[in-house]
Amino acid sequence: MRALIHAFFAERAVSKIADIPKDTPVLPIRKIAIVGAGTMGAGIAMACANSGIAVVLKDVDQTALDRGMAAIHRNYESSIAKGRFSKEVADRRIASIRAQTGYDGFEDADLIVEAAFESMELKKRIFAELEGVARLDCILATNTSTLDIDAIASVTSRPEMVVGLHFFSPANVMRLVEIVRGVHTGKAVVLDRAGAGQEARQSRSGGWNCRGFVGNRMMLPYMREAQFLAEEGATPEQVDAALYDFGMAMGIFAVDDMGGIDVGWRVRQEYKHLDKPGVRVPLVLDKLYHMHRLGQKTGAGWYRYGGDRKPIPDPEVDALIERTAIEAAFRGAPYPTRRLSSVASTLWSTRARAFWKAAMRSAPPTSMSLHDRLRLPRLSRRTHVVRGHGGS
């Protein structure tokens, strides 16, 4: 209970911005323009439309735009089928989203959100274009999940108007949005973005510009280690089952499929120059990308998917992981269950007492016997527990 109380107040505290005066004026957000109608752009458009905000949704060509609008229609149809709201409400929300291939209407937007894929070159090109169409008092936001906000802002003449606005996927469902400040981001801009998140019924958290910000600075090592588990003997289904049984809302491989395997692949390309020789990196994700198994959006990723978008374990992926691991000589002797129990208990105790006192009051009774929940029959012997490549 004490941990839940702590979480309650922490969530409210993080939405307050300590160094911004309370009397700083906040401009109302009446119209938002979005560049990119992919998974994130479409989700952000729905989040805004659901809150009564007019949206202009742009993509490079009609095919991409039609694909994005089709996804929006499917999501609303699913919500109608589940009784969340009526067809009339859905039709009204869809009508508030204007889809187009040009920049018409961007000139009177209060906020422009770039939601293109993770490419620094592409994002810089978009922001250079926005420089010529946006009002001087329009906030220019990027939905990047990992890239340098200051580098993106460097192509504009108004870096103080640029901010990171990282919605989590799917944006129309997930409440969290990270407001990421660059070196030059104005305080009023940060406050306005907090207001935008509130109007879109999002829970806000603030952070400074760094690789992965807050959410993905935790998520990327998490995903990396999960892929190592798969390469060393577990299946994606086993890892996800362990995580779900432990209390996570979803397993990490299912999360990767939902967000899009192409997202993780593009992040890897942007940061490959930082790889250190001899440091291990996951191998299977790149192969899934080149097989065009991008997750839910293509009907196959780590899992296969039907019309209900529920993950279906795929023997083809299990075989791919095994072949890749054997080629790389990752698979070895089974990891003894008793040894796993000892390591899990040591890690949990250290983390709880040194870093997360609340965990000692909130942990389920069986958490110290983590191996009983992991259900991983084949774990290779790990030669080290703490790695020296946790990200920069």
Residue the block writes with tokens 């939405």? 15
Q: What is the C-alpha to C-alpha distance for residues 213 and 258, in angstroms, rounded to an integer?
A: 20
Read off the pLDDT of each residue in 95-119 and give the average, rounded to a whole number: 96
50, containing H or E segment: helix 39-50
**Among 23-27, 52-56, 258-262, 350-354, whose mean pLDDT is lowest?**
350-354
Residue 227 binned pLDDT confidence (cut-offs 50, 70, 90): very high
Residue 199 binned pLDDT confidence (cut-offs 50, 70, 90): very low
Q: In what order do the strands lie in the sheet with 162-167?
A: 97-100, 54-58, 31-35, 111-114, 139-142, 162-167, 176-181, 203-208
Q: Which residue has the higher pLDDT, 206 or 240?
A: 240
Read off the pLDDT of each residue in 92-109 and give the average, rounded to a whole number: 96
Q: What is the C-alpha to C-alpha distance for residues 78 and 87, in angstroms, rounded to an integer?
A: 11
Q: Which residue has the higher pLDDT, 383 or 274?
A: 274
pLDDT for 203: 52
Whole-number average pLDDT of the chain: 82
**Among 46-55, 87-96, 112-121, 366-375, whose mean pLDDT is lowest?**
366-375
Sequence letter at residue 155: V
Please state the φ and ψ torsions of residue 257, each to the nearest 5 degrees: -65, -40
Q: Which residue has the higher pLDDT, 353 or 77?
A: 77
Q: Is the pLDDT of residue 157 over 90?
A: yes
Q: How far is CA 22 from CA 18, 59, 200, 203, 275, in A?
A: 9, 37, 21, 19, 43
Is there a contact between 215 and 178 (Cβ–Cβ < 8 Å)? Answer: yes
Residue 191 binned pLDDT confidence (cut-offs 50, 70, 90): low
Sequence letter at residue 64: A
Helices 236-246, 215-231: axis angle to 10 degrees equals: 130
Q: Bridge-partner residues for 311, per DSSP?
A: 305
Among candidate residues 331, 295, 301, 298, the one with its CA nearest the CA of residue 317: 301
139, containing H or E segment: strand 139-142
Is there a contact between 154 and 161 (Cβ–Cβ < 8 Å)? Answer: no
Longest dimension (CA), the chain: 64
Whole-number percent of the chain with pLDDT over 70: 78
pLDDT for 213: 84
Distant-in-sequence, close-in-space partners of 7: CB < 8 Å, separation ≥ 6: 358
What is the Cα 349 distance to its own chain's centre?
29
Is there a contact between 295 and 256 (Cβ–Cβ < 8 Å)? Answer: yes
Distant-in-sequence, close-in-space partners of 363: CB < 8 Å, separation ≥ 6: 348, 352
Distant-in-sequence, close-in-space partners of 92: CB < 8 Å, separation ≥ 6: none
Q: Are strands 176-181 and 139-142 parallel, antiparallel or unpaired?
A: unpaired
Residue 338 binned pLDDT confidence (cut-offs 50, 70, 90): very low
Q: Is the pLDDT of residue 347 over 70?
A: no
**Among 37-51, 63-77, 200-214, whose mean pLDDT is lowest?**
200-214
pLDDT for 26: 73
Q: Which residue has the higher pLDDT, 340 or 125?
A: 125
pLDDT for 315: 96
pLDDT for 331: 57
Please state the φ and ψ torsions of residue 186, each to the nearest 5 degrees: -70, 150
Q: Is the pLDDT of residue 372 over 60?
A: no
Q: Is the pLDDT of residue 339 over 60?
A: no
Indicate yes or no: pTM above 0.85: no
Residue 47 binned pLDDT confidence (cut-offs 50, 70, 90): very high
Q: Is the pLDDT of residue 61 over 80?
A: yes
Terminal CA-CA length for the chain: 35
The angle subtended at Cα 261 by Cα 292 and Cα 39, nearest 5°, is: 100
Q: Is the pLDDT of residue 378 over 70?
A: no
Q: Is the pLDDT of residue 346 over 80?
A: no
Read off the pLDDT of each residue in 264-270 and give the average, rounded to a whole number: 91
Q: Which residue has the higher pLDDT, 304 or 244?
A: 304
Read off the pLDDT of each residue in 262-283 and give the average, rounded to a whole number: 90
Please state the φ and ψ torsions of residue 164, each to the nearest 5 degrees: -85, 135
How many Cβ atoms sit within 10 Å of the Cβ of residue 39?
Answer: 24
Residue the block writes with tokens 């809150």? 51
Read off the pLDDT of each residue in 94-104 and give the average, rounded to a whole number: 97
pLDDT for 206: 60
